[in-house]
Every structure is written in structure tokens, then in C-alpha cells.
Amino acid sequence: MKKELDILLCDLDAFYASVEQLDHPELKGKPVIVGGDPAGRGVASTCSYEARKFGVRSAMPMKKALELCPQAIVVRGNMARYGEVAGQVREIFGRYTPDLEIVSIDEAYLAVKQGLGLTVAENIHRKVREELGLPISVGVSSNKLLAKVACELAKPDAVKALWMKDVPELFWPLPVRAIPGIGPKAAEKLKSLGLKTVKDLAHCPPATLRRIFGNNSANIHRFACGLDDRELEPVHDLKSISEETTFPEDIHDRQDYLPAVIRELAAGVGYRLRSSGLKARTITLKLRYSDFKTITRSKTLPDLFNSDKVIYELALDLFNKNSGRAPWRLVGVKASGFEEEEQLSLLIATDEERKEKQLLVVKDSLQQKYGSAVVVSGKQLKDFNKQK
């Protein structure tokens, strides 16, 4: 029988921007965008809540972000520093449970004994604030779906529980996009049928759902009812690690923007490989075109690897050879063909082994450091761009 557990989704708020505000107190309370290059051509990878008020979003071309928020302070990313802080956050998670799934550098599911979820969530929220000075949002429930929804409702910097009994009041009023697997296109179609909220889906006749979602319709209906039996995927069961980005608008720029996004995704994949004690042999690039056609292309090397640089170069090479015709709406990078780097991974080790391993991860990321933060104001960037 399945163990009864409480599930937490912990998600650091505007992670890269929050770390920059922590390290550079003069940035506190200001609109901060992390990413891009100083010429303003790259991608906005994270923006502080102050910048979000202007409509700036992750994965937006930097140029657009600066049009929306010209006073933004643009900071070059420092992945080594973010990796180091993520390791410290992970150490706090590890005090409460060994049972966790790393979703990305700033996001993880934790499973704890039933009944303990809310207390653990509040402790994590407090410790991350007290010990690291960072905002984190934590959603608590009995499954991954509702924990994720609870976390979205909690943001920013708070804890929220959402149990089955709360589904009609808190989950059902949300738009259909709150359900995993429902993207903008499906949402459009649902809207044209008068189905706008999660509640509409939960009450929709099965035949209608089947027409829209085919084989996936039963899953969608279960999600709409708040039911989800997906288990956590702990590191030792991992078959692949992937990161992908759906662009806020279709992208045409193959020179600067796409490579910048691929570099970002490669860094995320590399970080997760190293912190899981894994090395990969294969990189897969996923591309979706504006007509929703999706392709995947892979390359396998004879030697195992886990460095950001190798992942980036493989993925970029795959992109250059298979990019097809612009525009693109999604790009993803996946690593697979794993071998464990060492016998004990970070997540299943004893405290001492875990600490030692974490030092290695930090050291590793420091070696890969690509420069410290360079701070320039958005205005300076704009002027710079005008001169060009």
C-alpha cells in the first residue's frame, strides 16, 4: 500500500535576483533583472518582484524587459554563487527529510510523515529566512499537484496548505492553466467551449474531455478534482534531467537570444547533475516551433560529462544543425545516459558525507565560475544600445 505522506513544494522566490539583493544590499527594494549581456541582447533570466510589477518576466528578451522597466538594474548572472546558495538551501531541506525530488536549482518537492507537513513547511520558511536571508514559498498538501498549486497561492515569501477539503474553495476558481499539461493552446480551445476554470473541467462530461485530450483526459479530470498519485522522483531513480523554457512570445533571434537561453538551461542541467552526483553521456535538444511542431535531437559522447560547458556546446551544436525555420516557442535541454559519479549521492548520504559532498559541489561550481557580478543600470544599457 502507498505510504501516506504530506508533500511540500519549496520554491525560492525570484531566486537569482534575491541572491543579488542579499549580496548587494543597495539593490534591495529595487527592480533587479538578472541575465542578459551588458549590450542588452540576452535573456532576462530572473527578475525581482519590484521588476515584475512592470510586467517583466523570466525568459523575456532583455530588450523588451528594459522597454517595460527602463529603470531596472541589470546584473550579470553568477551561477557559481547561486549554486553555492542552492546547496545551503538543500542542506536545510535535508534536516527534515531524505525524501526529496529536485525540480530545478530553486525548486524541490519534499515528502514528510503525514501530519507533519505544515510544521516542516513553517520551519523551512523560517530557517531559510533566518540563516540565509532569502524568501521562499512553500506549498503543503497530500500530493504534488496540490502542493504546487498551494505554493503558487503562497507566493511570495509565505507558507500555504491546500488540502482535499479546500479544493472547491481554493483550486476550482483558478484558470484551467493551473493544471499540469494544459498549455496556452489547450486553454484557448477550452475557452471556446466555455470551459475556463478548474471547476468547469471537474464538472465537464467525460466525452467532451476525451475529444480534447484524448488518452490524457482521465488524468486531466483527476487533476481537476485535486487527485494526483505521481510519486516523488528521488535522485537514484532518475533517468534524465531536463530543463525547458516556453517563451512569453515566439522568438526569431538565433544569434543571441536562443544561445543565451540554451546556456542558461545547460547551467541548470549541469548544476542538477553535479548536485545529484551524476554524469551523463547524452544530451537531447527539444525545439517547438510556432505551429507547435516539436522535434528532439540527441547526441551521445563516448565519455561521461557533467560540466555546463560541455552540455552547452553539445546543445548549441544540436541547435545550429537542427534549428529549422524561426520562430521558436520552446527550447529544452535534457541530459540522460547516467552513471553515478560516486556511490552515495548527496541526497542519500549521512550528514557528514553530505557535507563533504556539498563542499565538492561548491568547489566544482566555483571552478566553473564565469566571472563575478557586474552591475550596470538599465538606463546605461539603453544609452549604450542607442549608440550602437
Residues that bind Mg ion (CB under 5 A): 11-12, 106
Amino acid in the structure at residue 70: P
Cβ nearer to Mg ion, comparing 12 with 235:
12
Residue ranges with strand state E in 208-337: 240-251, 278-289, 294-305, 328-336
Nearest distance from residue 343's CB to Mg ion, in Å? 31
Nearest residue to Mg ion, scored by beta-carbon proximity? 106
Which one, 13 or 256, has the nearer CB to Mg ion?
A: 13
Catalytic residue among 107, 188, 244, 341: 107
CB 189 within 8 A of CB 174: no
Q: Are 57 and 97 in contact (CB under 8 A)?
A: no
Backbone angles phi, psi at 119, to 5 degrees: -65, -45
Q: Which residues of 222-261 are buried (b: 16+ CB within 10 A; e: fewer)?
A: ebbbbebeebbebbeebeebbbebebeeebebeebbbbbb
Our answer to whether residue 84 is catalytic in this structure is no
CA-CA distance, 200 to 194, in Å (whole number)? Answer: 8
Rg of the chain taking only CA atoms, in angstroms: 21
Q: How far is CA 276 from the centre of its chain?
A: 16
Run of H or E including 189 = helix 184-192
Q: Under a CB-based contact definition with an 8 Å cutoff, are residues 10 and 110 in contact?
A: yes
DSSP 169: I
Instruction: Tell me how far apart the terminal alpha carbons of the chain are, to the nearest angstrom.
Output: 65
| Alpha-helical runs (H) found in 7-141 | 15-23, 49-52, 62-68, 79-94, 117-127
Cβ-based nearer residue to Mg ion, 91 or 341? 91
Helices (H), 76-230: 79-94, 117-127, 144-154, 184-192, 198-202, 206-213, 217-224
Q: Which among 16, 83, 50 has a CA at the least distance from the CA of 378? A: 50
Least distance from C-beta 250 to Mg ion, angstroms?
24
Residues assigned a catalytic role: 107
